[in-house]
Amino acid sequence: MKIEEFFNVMNEVKVYDLTQRLSIHTPPWPSYMPLGIQYFKRLAGAHMGQGANGQIITTSNHVGTHIDGEIHFHSSGRTIGDTPLDFWYGPGVVVDISDQVGDYDLYTPEMLMNKAEIKERDILIINTGYHKYAWDQPESDEVRYFVNHPGPSPEFHKWALKMKIKWIGVDCGSADHPMNTIIRDWHPKRFKEAEEKIIATYGKKWDELFPPKEYYQVMHIKLFPKGLVHAENIGGEIDQVNNKRVWIGLFPLRGIELESSMCRVVAIAPK
């Protein structure tokens, strides 16, 4: 392709921002350090300097839209900065299942494949609809966003590996079901609600459907050693690319020690 042809193609695409807004009010994943911002100098002069505004940021890596790196749960895995740039972008699909899942529900591979074309080695972003409960939305509900959101069915992680999915993005607090994380212990009343729903739907108790030794944070512990990581807290303009095949890009910091990183996520599609 000649350079002019390339520019003509790029002039006919639109870039959609799938990133949650970031603020000191953005809640981190429960128990993690939130974002802190302070000025260390101002234009008029204060705190050791003048002539420019300067800020100091303190934060964990798990605030707002972020990518979990392999080393987050796998000591010998790749850090964010050691992961090649071309791993973070490529063809993929945003699948909207918001009309099929609610509090504590499970999503299945079949549910996703019935909504959109998913190919091997795709980047897969799942729209559960729970981005509408994010901190800056009209229906904001921090507990529901982190504690009640849907999660993957028992066979989901095996299907994702079989499909050679490049990486996964979710529009909620975790790619794992919250009741397969420590949140289960922190919110026993919510776990009781979740188990009652599971029994009513599948006829099994939670630990029968998800034996803890196999499924505790399975999307992290079982997949990260295989190189399949995920981005959490996707949001922004996600609803504008529902069930579409798009070019997806994720842009983390190139930190060679980083176990995870806040990032910008975009989808590129024809206008």
The residue to which tokens 């799942």 are assigned: 126
* CA separation for the pair 150, 142 (Å, rounded): 14
The Cα 130–Cα 86 span in angstroms is 29
Distance, in Å, from the CA atom of 266 to the CA atom of 235, rounded to the nearest integer, reads: 10
Percent of the chain clearing pLDDT 70 (strictly above)? 98
Domains of the chain: 14-23+61-270 (3.50.30.50)
The residue behind tokens 């559960």 is: 128
Task: Quote the Cα angle for 21-77-170, to 5°.
Answer: 30
Q: Determine which of 36-40, 69-73, 212-216, 229-233 has the lowest per-residue pLDDT on average.
A: 36-40
Q: What is the pLDDT of residue 41?
A: 84
State if pTM tops 0.75.
Answer: yes
Buried b (16+ CB within 10 A) or exposed e, 78-95: bbbeebeeeebbeebbbb
Of 42-46, 124-128, 146-150, 206-210, the poorest mean pLDDT is in 42-46
Distance CA 227, CA 247 (A): 20
Distance CA 108, CA 160 (A): 11
Q: Tokens at residue 124, please?
A: 């897969």
Q: Are strands 151-152 and 106-107 parallel, antiparallel or unpaired?
A: parallel
**What are the b/e assignments for 254-271, b being 16+ CB within 10 Å?**
eeeebbbbbbebbbebee
Give 25-71 pLDDT, tens digit per residue. Answer: 999 999 999 999 998 888 887 666 667 888 999 999 999 999 999 99
Q: Please tell me the predicted confidence (pLDDT) of residue 248.
A: 98
Q: Where are the beta strands (DSSP E) in the chain?
A: 13-17, 36-41, 54-58, 66-68, 89-96, 106-107, 123-127, 151-152, 167-170, 229-232, 244-252, 260-270
Q: Is 244 helix (H, G, I), strand (E, B) or coil?
A: strand
Taking residues 130-143, report their average pLDDT. Answer: 98
pLDDT tens-digit profile of 72-121? 999 999 999 999 999 999 999 999 999 999 999 999 999 999 999 999 99
Q: Who's near 86: CB < 8 A, 6+ residues apart?
A: none
Residue 212 pLDDT > 70, yes or no?
Answer: yes
pLDDT at 48: 64
Quick one: pLDDT at residue 47?
A: 64
How open is the CA angle 80-83-85, to the nearest 5 degrees?
Answer: 110
Average pLDDT, the chain: 96
Matching residue, tokens 């839209």? 65
pLDDT at 49: 62
